[in-house]
Homo-oligomer: A and B are copies of this chain.
Amino acid sequence: MSGNTLGLLFTVTSFGESHGPAIGCVVDGCPPGMALSAEDIQIELDRRKPGTSRHVTQRREPDQVEILSGVFEGKTTGTSIGLLIRNTDQRSHDYGKISETFRPGHADYTYWHKYGIRDYRGGGRSSARETAVRVAAGAIAKKWLKERFGVVIRGYMSQLGEIEIPFESWDEVGNNPFFAPNAGIIPQLEDYMDAIRKERDSVGAKITVVAENVPVGWGEPVYDRLDADIAFNMMNINAVKGVEIGAGFKSVAQRGSEHCDELTPDGFAANEAGGILGGISTGQDIVVNIAVKPTSSIAQERRSIDKDGNAVMMATTGRHDPCVGIRATPIAEAMLALTLMDHALRHRAQCADVQVTTPRIPGRIA
């Protein structure tokens, strides 16, 4: 109820604060018999971890995951999987001012009014540090989806501030600190970010995530639509302010004759739908865009109020990502994986016996 559990059949229940002793989660619903090691999870955590370039926060966290349960002799047992990540770099400093004031654009003011108490150290529970937990859980979902159905989930940065990043190749995404699918644009992105940092400002980003090889038929038709659950999970990522499936907001100005993907025996003629129709996967690529707002923590002096309602000026110093969108790619991939895995299991529950002889046409034809 209190918003720390995700999913219905494949669930992640998360705990932990930015500067507490540890973060972690319980992953429940993983089918038995899948090979799983800490390394399988670590590889995804390392993609998200801080301190890997000058363009992200300089907090040093190894984000070393420990599997506490649910795996026996290298295989999942079907019981709940406890994951633990100790916090190691909770640099002690004076929180005095932050504890009495509300940082603009942050959850400080809302937490305070909701709970009447808040762990102000590094944002406490509202810190994006919690997203490491999702990446860890998402690694399990990704692995199962890949092994069981061949589903591949990948993301990239499609826009950084005003700079649109043309997609060139998946191969480039891992070669730069931005998850940009384009080698040529990297110098421009680096200069851009250096300028932002110099201005003690931050900037937004757009991330695109794609799931390939999703079978046709996953998702519910009315209220737990696959696209609705994707939107839910994406908007559950810190700093996300918008979600699009397929054509997204472009569809507002489209005609039906343009938007509605024709079907042919050789495949769909287009993928404006983004792989989902009527809340159910079509078998085409699932394509999702998210808008990540600029980091709220900036070092410029800004207006705010304190706990007594008095006007104050404050700048947020410390170690912060100048663009939280940069590290959002593995998080968004994880959230898409968690959503798909939940629906894969739902589908088995209800429709395990369904046999349809109609050919499943491939995704978008060339």
Contacts and interface: CB of A to CB of B under 8 A. Distances in A.
Contacts of A216: 109-110, 113-114
A210 interface: no
A274 interface: yes
B161 A78 contact: no
Given A106-B278, A256-B203, A124 B291 contact: no
Contacts of A14: 26, 80, 222-223
Contacts of A348: 348-349, 352
Given A106-B277, A269-B303, A345 B350 contact: yes
Interface residues on A, range: 35 or more
A32 B116 contact: yes
B234 A302 contact: no
Contacts of A220: 2-4
Which of A1, A28, A216 lies at the interface centre, i.e. has the most chain B CB atoms within 10 A of its CB? A1
Contacts of A96: none
B104 A260 contact: yes
Given A217-B114, A225-B235, A346-B349, A255 B294 contact: yes
Nearest to A23: B69
B280 A110 contact: yes
A278 B13 contact: no
B257 A302 contact: yes
A298 interface: yes
